[in-house]
Chains A and B, each alone.
Chain A
Amino acid sequence: MKKGNGSGLRWGISLGVAGILLVYPLLIRNPFYIHLFIMIYFYIFLALAWNVVGGFAGQLSLGHTVFYGIGAYTSTLLFINLGISPWMGMFAGGILATLTSGVIGIPCFRLHGPFFAMSTLALGEVFRILATYWRDLTQGAMGITIPIKFGWRNFIFEEKAVYYYIILAFTVAALGISYWIHRSRFGSNLVALREDEEAAESLGINVSRNKLWAMMISAFLAAAGGTFSAQYILFIDPDAEFSVGLSMMMAILPILGGIGTVWGPVIGATVLVPLQEFLRAWLGSSLHGLHLFIYGGLLIIVVTFLPRGILDWIQAWGRKALPFLFPTPALEKPVQPRPGHFLAWSWLHQKGSSDGPILEVKDLGKNFGGLAAIRQVSFEVRKGDIVGLIGPNGAGKTTLFNVISGFYRPDGGAVLYHGEAISSIHSAYRICRRGMGRTFQLVKPFQNISVLENVMTGAFLQSKTHAAAREDALEILELVGLCGVKSTLGKSLTIAERKRLELARALATRPDLLLLDEIMAGLNPKETDEAIQLIRKIRGHGITILMIEHVMQAVMQLSDRIVILHHGEKIGEGPPRQVAADEKVIKAYLGEEYVIT
């Protein structure tokens, strides 16, 4: 067997578990144990819903009951007032929640970290208060009792087993969505923006749109959970539907299980929900709050000591103790890069072959307050050239890069790329999509994903499928010499490796023009030589390079032409030899007295 014994055993166990879960309500007649499983699935479902925006996209919402409550109230009100089937109501609620998530998301996504969490927490409270206050519609704090009329159309069943299969189906669907996100370009984009929004933009990722999509998918699912709960309990009220406790649970379960993974939310809910239900059954209300007390304690321990959750811990343990059940990912699929596929650089030939310069900077200016960071800078970059951009610290080199690559809006002048004005786009991801890649002076590797996944976030810009992105990424890793560390996390790399990773990731977006910001700073002489060779190789494939560099040895060896900036102005331009002898350049770098006349 090609996949080895472990794979067969894993499939066997998975099928066995699936089989048991399918016939479970037929075997178990005790309603408590059916209820228990319904609750487990229900919380898995909600945890998976939260995980889309909270885990994959890293936007830590504490107000997901807004969507859950909208789902519950919409389907219930449509059902009791207009007699519309809750199945339809579920979609109506989902759509309403999706729209609400957009209205909330667009402004709130400008906030980060704790501030986003606080604003969603506050909005959850606003909705609870509004639902209590708006008595004409919601019957306020009294709540709404859904009349018991059994039947599929009414989404009300005498047998708990039916609810069991419905929520199981919901959960399987949510798992499918999570798995798809995990493997797709969309998921890769979410992880990238979670790790670093600027770097994600520089790889052609539309950060706002991707966040919004994640929020809307998450909201739709949470609303469906709200409808299910309303139909299961047959009673809704503002305190339950917009409960802070439930918002917390939706976040806590995935965090404990393993945030941003497909199976983390499943593990979190499977471990904790039985605990909660058993405590409730055993202790009744005598020790009300005990389960939350335990959750709170676990939460502190997990985020402090196991930030990747229980799942990661189980996997690490399993790989040691039961290696046939927990294969190491790297061994899962042997990697065979296809030399020549990506490196055919086929995209370079598709771009028009006009003879004009690839990049023209015309009278460009950028001010910060009263300070002119760059003034009236003009130069050209011809196709296939390596142009060095040098100048003392504070000369405006990085600012110039930020304007060219769309991170800053210029205050005057224009940038033409392939003859088209791009300075008005002011959108880094759009400029990247046109074929301009860049690296950052302060490197921004995505810390918590592997080197391979880092490069894949770039490769996904051009490759539709996971497999294609992976192969492209592997070829680039081969080219830049990072294959040996492809499974290492971004945060564990050395400086030299980080710089290469930046280059690899930018290269993966298939640029025809690369802006490199000091990729040799901090390298030792051997690493510098390797980097020089690498840049030659990349240029050899026809990619034009504009590089900011302080390492003179590299600039002199590599550049066809050099542009010198000083105090935001261009003070010289020409071939390396000529520039090195230029008085103004020497003055700028070393001071008046070093000019040899």
Chain B
Amino acid sequence: MVETILQLTINGLLLGGIYALIAIGLTLIFGVVRIINFAQGEFLMIGMFATFWIFSLLKIDPYIALLIFTPLLFLLGMGTERVIIKPIQNAPALAQIFSTFGLSIVLQNGALMFWKSDYRSMETAYSSAMINWAGLMINVPRLVAFLVAVGIVIFLYLFLQKTYLGKAMSAVAQDRDAAQLMGVDINKIYMLAFGLGIGLEGLAGALIMPIYATYPTVGYTFGLIAFVVVVLGGLGNMIGAFLGGLVIGLVESFSGFFISPELNTAIYFLIFVLVLIIRPSGLMGMVGAEEMGLK
């Protein structure tokens, strides 16, 4: 029994790492640009499909592909910010919700038209490689994803604390008016933050492709989980997103074992709604969430 619990904990933490990886981009965009990007999951989907195709057509390994797709999605994100997000920067909630929502519909159904609704997965040499650690099984690609998630949190933390650009970004996140008065070009910061948030989905897409199948609505599934994670961790909070990811991973691992894997999604969505209602600022609240309608 103890062994089962330990194994479930490890599975949960590794899963949580993946969720955190996906959610960090969303929370970064929310924190800086103050937009809830309903299309976040669809960029993950694009990253996954791109990784899949480059692997099956050109035999390029996902861990190499990520070096290509992270910067490509970064550029795609910056372009998206210019075309779609910038015009609705100060628009009412209706426009802010439904333009990114419209984008998610466009990307999802574009993928459906191009690639059909088939599930596509890849088999790499290490897809099911395991490390046996004192009788506990650790899946290698999941461990890699987990470690990268930790690395990303540390990297972003240092970036936001130590670099000029990062400090400017934090300043915009805290008070956009004051940041603007201090000479920060907020439009540039929005574009960079959005690009960074989307670039991280390219990274995540490549990292999880050895583990999960991709299909046009995969972004919807993961996107919703990312929302749960981000709300739980506190919108805009990087460390919160990481912890939130771990919590949701553990919940899924344990409820899947003790209740029923079918109900996993229902359970964390209920947690999500409860958190929103009872403690909308999440585990680690953020300044300005009330601006978005959270009180």
Kindly state the interface size class of chain A when it binds its partner: 35 or more
Within 8 A of A (CB), among B101-149: 101-110, 112-113, 116-117
* B112 contacts A129, C-beta separation under 8 Å: no
Given the interface pairs A111-B294, A114-B36, A133-B260, the reply to whether A119 lies near B272 with Cβ below 8 Å is yes
- B219 / chain A contacts, CB cutoff of 8 Å: none
* A122 contacts B269, C-beta separation under 8 Å: yes
A307-336 vs B, Cβ < 8 Å mask (1 yes, 0 no): 100000000000000000000000000000
Within 8 A of B (CB), among A129-147: 129-130, 132-133
**Chain B nearest Cβ from A106, distance in angstroms:** 10
Selected contact of B91 from candidates A114, A292, A299, A304, CB within 8 Å = A304
Selected contact of B292 from candidates A115, A123, A251, CB within 8 Å = A115
* B266 contacts A118, C-beta separation under 8 Å: no
Within 8 A of B (CB), among A57-83: 58, 60, 62
Given the interface pairs A114-B293, A299-B102, the reply to whether A125 lies near B269 with Cβ below 8 Å is yes
**Chain A nearest Cβ from B262, distance in angstroms:** 5
* A304 contacts B103, C-beta separation under 8 Å: no
* B99 contacts A304, C-beta separation under 8 Å: yes
**Chain B nearest Cβ from A489, distance in angstroms:** 13
* B93 contacts A300, C-beta separation under 8 Å: no
Bound CA span A112–B290, Å: 9
Given the interface pairs A303-B94, A303-B99, the reply to whether A123 lies near B273 with Cβ below 8 Å is yes
Given the interface pairs A108-B273, A115-B280, A290-B109, the reply to whether A300 lies near B99 with Cβ below 8 Å is yes
A356 CB-CB contact with B under 8 Å: no
* B88 contacts A303, C-beta separation under 8 Å: yes
Within 8 A of A (CB), among B237-289: 260, 262-263, 265-266, 269-270, 272-273, 276-277, 280
Bound CA span A60–B96, Å: 12
Selected contact of A118 from candidates B99, B108, B260, B276, CB within 8 Å = B276
Within 8 A of B (CB), among A27-66: 58, 60, 62
* B94 contacts A259, C-beta separation under 8 Å: yes
- B87 / chain A contacts, CB cutoff of 8 Å: 304-305
Known: A115-B292, A115-B293, A304-B87. 19 other contacts (CB 8 A): A60-B93, A60-B97, A60-B98, A111-B280, A113-B97, A116-B293, A118-B231, A119-B273, A119-B276, A123-B273, A126-B273, A129-B263, A248-B105, A289-B108, A296-B102, A299-B102, A300-B84, A300-B98, A307-B94
Please name the residue on chain B nearest to A116 by beta carbon: B293
- B107 / chain A contacts, CB cutoff of 8 Å: 296
A255 CB-CB contact with B under 8 Å: yes
- A112 / chain B contacts, CB cutoff of 8 Å: 93, 292-295
Within 8 A of A (CB), among B47-102: 84, 87-88, 91-99, 101-102
- A129 / chain B contacts, CB cutoff of 8 Å: 262-263, 265-266
Selected contact of B216 from candidates A123, A252, A289, CB within 8 Å = A289
Selected contact of A122 from candidates B104, B106, B272, CB within 8 Å = B272
Given the interface pairs A118-B276, A288-B112, the reply to whether A296 lies near B103 with Cβ below 8 Å is yes
**Chain B nearest Cβ from A490, distance in angstroms:** 13
Which residue, A107, A298, A300, has most C-beta atoms of chain B within 10 A? Answer: A300
- B112 / chain A contacts, CB cutoff of 8 Å: 288-289
Can you list 10 A-B contacts (CB < 8 A)? A60-B94, A108-B273, A111-B276, A113-B292, A118-B227, A126-B270, A129-B265, A296-B102, A298-B102, A304-B99
A390 CB-CB contact with B under 8 Å: no
- A298 / chain B contacts, CB cutoff of 8 Å: 102
B43 CB-CB contact with A under 8 Å: no
**Chain A nearest Cβ from B214, distance in angstroms:** 16
B45 CB-CB contact with A under 8 Å: no
A417-432 vs B, Cβ < 8 Å mask (1 yes, 0 no): 0000000000000000
Kindly state the interface size class of chain B when it binds its partner: 35 or more
Bound CA span A295–B109, Å: 10
* B263 contacts A255, C-beta separation under 8 Å: no
Interface residues of A (CB under 8 A from B): 58, 60, 62, 107-108, 110-119, 121-123, 125-126, 129-130, 132-133, 244, 248, 251-252, 255, 259, 287-290, 292-293, 295-300, 303-305, 307
**Chain B nearest Cβ from A522, distance in angstroms:** 19
Bound CA span A432–B99, Å: 38
B194 CB-CB contact with A under 8 Å: no
Selected contact of A133 from candidates B84, B96, B262, CB within 8 Å = B262
Which residue, A114, A117, A295, has most C-beta atoms of chain B within 10 A? Answer: A114
Bound CA span A296–B106, Å: 5
Bound CA span A368–B231, Å: 27
> 10 smallest A-B Cβ distances: which pairs?
A112-B293, A296-B105, A299-B102, A289-B109, A289-B112, A113-B293, A113-B93, A296-B106, A300-B102, A293-B109
B228 CB-CB contact with A under 8 Å: yes
- A299 / chain B contacts, CB cutoff of 8 Å: 98-99, 101-102, 105
B220 CB-CB contact with A under 8 Å: yes
Bound CA span A330–B113, Å: 48
**Chain A nearest Cβ from B6, distance in angstroms:** 28
**Chain A nearest Cβ from B80, distance in angstroms:** 11
- A123 / chain B contacts, CB cutoff of 8 Å: 269, 273
Given the interface pairs A108-B277, A133-B266, the reply to whether A117 lies near B113 with Cβ below 8 Å is no
* B113 contacts A121, C-beta separation under 8 Å: no
**Chain B nearest Cβ from A298, distance in angstroms:** 8
Which residue, B94, B110, B293, has most C-beta atoms of chain A within 10 A? Answer: B94
Please name the residue on chain A nearest to B269 by beta carbon: A122
Given the interface pairs A112-B293, A304-B87, the reply to whether A121 lies near B276 with Cβ below 8 Å is no
Bound CA span A221–B104, Å: 28
Bound CA span A255–B101, Å: 12
Please name the residue on chain B nearest to A290 by beta carbon: B113
Please name the residue on chain B nearest to A106 by beta carbon: B277
Please name the residue on chain A nearest to B86 by beta carbon: A304
Bound CA span A259–B94, Å: 10
- A115 / chain B contacts, CB cutoff of 8 Å: 231, 276, 280, 292-294
* A126 contacts B91, C-beta separation under 8 Å: no
Bound CA span A500–B260, Å: 61
Please name the residue on chain B nearest to A127 by beta carbon: B266
- A113 / chain B contacts, CB cutoff of 8 Å: 93, 96-97, 292-293
Please name the residue on chain B nearest to A447 by beta carbon: B92
